[in-house]
Amino acid sequence: EPTTDMSVLLDTIIEHVPVPNVGTKTDPFRMVVTMLAHDNWLGRLVNGRVQSGCVEVGSKIHAIDLDGNILEAGKVTKVLQWRGLAQEEVTMASAGNIVSIAGLSAASVTHTIASEEVKEPIKTTPIDPPTVAILLGVNDSPLKGKDGGTELTTAKIKERLDKEKLTNVALSINKGQGDQFEIMGRGELQLGILLETMRREKFELSVSPPRVLFQEKEGKKMEPIEEVIVDVDDEFTNVVIQKLTLRKGELREMKQISGKNRLVFQVPSRGLIGFHVEFAADTRGTGVLNHVF
């Protein structure tokens, strides 16, 4: 029968969804960092859900990496908790609360924040390594400064990249040769978002072609392989299969979904560089392409 609120849904959730497995307030404080934020006054903020125990302002804590190494120790200077769409300062948070904690400068995503008596980290999935790299530098073309850009120097670029590193843990930024910076990330999309953001912030940049990062495992050179899922109409299926096969892709699955053909490939990351524009032209803008490492 019609209702005027969501009480029926909430009652159903309470009845059928298991109670979250959190520790008690008397257990030692433990929390896995899931996100980072930065505040100009507080410094680095580590965000996560309190796994067990309580944390309050002034508590002594330390950060533990996935291998059990203690990275740093410190005191909690602020505890922030979400109330609706805003964060409010609280004096204490307990198991099950999602909080932001200030007081540590080196802790990052996947690290365990815990009270001093805790020595073992909470098991979690490590951050995937970067797969693509580019070189970034100042705009040294004859048209420098003529396109409305105002951030033109190496110092400004370095300052912006240092700011990005504070919260974007999937990016790895190193100093390259001369005035260049090597930026390594999780694919073209992530690097493209950074470049477009900087362009809108009035930066003028010179960017190298992307290159794929290889790894050595057990004496063998390994390259990143991505799962590519393509949804296309019948008339474009053959050309997509042909193009991805030429790029060293392997067709693993093909089926019909909602009137379109779904193709599942495994393709090396280097084979996907520059493919999006070609794919859009081949499918006349009707195809859908997703890929994940």
211 — pLDDT class (breaks 50, 70, 90): confident
Whole-number pLDDT of residue 287 = 84
Site of tokens 């560089």: 273
Segment (H or E) for 238: helix 234-246
22 DSSP 8-state letter: -
Flag the least confident range among 19-23, 24-28, 101-105, 146-150: 19-23
What tokens appear for 125 in the block? 């999935």
Phi, psi of 36 (to 5 degrees): -120, 150
pLDDT-based confidence at residue 234 (cuts at 50, 70, 90)? confident
pLDDT tens by residue, 170-182: 888 888 787 888 8
Q: What is the pLDDT of residues 249-265, one digit of tens each?
A: 888 888 888 788 888 88
Instruction: Return phi, psi of residue 172, to 5°.
Output: -120, 120
| Tens digit of each residue's pLDDT (9 = 90 or more) over 97-110 | 889 998 888 888 88
Confidence of residue 24 (pLDDT cuts 50, 70, 90): low
Residue type, 31: M
Residues whose CB is less than 8 angstroms from the CB of residue 116 and which lie 6 or more positions away in sequence, other chains included:
60, 61, 62, 73
The answer to whether 114 and 61 have CB atoms below 8 angstroms apart is yes
Burial class (CB in 10 A: 0-12, 13-18, 19+), 99: buried
Tokens describing residue 57: 């302002």
* For the chain, percent of residues with pLDDT exceeding 90: 2
Per the structure block, which two tokens stand in for 257? 């979904």
Q: In this structure, which amino acid lies at residue 51?
A: Q
Residue range 31-40: mean pLDDT, rounded: 87
Residue 244 CB burial class (10 angstroms; 0-12, 13-18, ≥19): buried
User: Could you tell me the sign of the dihedral formed by the alpha carbons of 184, 186, 188, 191, in that order?
Assistant: negative
Q: Residue 211 — φ and ψ, nearest 5°?
A: -130, 145
Q: What is the pLDDT of residue 224?
A: 84
Residues sharing a CB contact under 8 Å with residue 101, sequence separation 6 or more, in sequence order? 31, 45, 46, 47, 55, 61, 76, 78, 79, 80, 113
pLDDT score for 25: 66
In the Cβ-directed half-sphere of 252, how many Cα atoms lie within 13 Å? 11
- Gap between the Cα atoms of 79 and 46, Å rounded: 10
The torsion of the CA quartet 235, 240, 241, 247, rounded to 10 degrees, works out to 170
Nearest Cα to 119, choosing from 76, 61, 77, 78? 61
Query: What average pLDDT does the segment 142-146 reach?
Result: 75
Q: pLDDT class for 13, splitting at 50, 70, 90?
A: very high
Return the DSSP state at 121: P
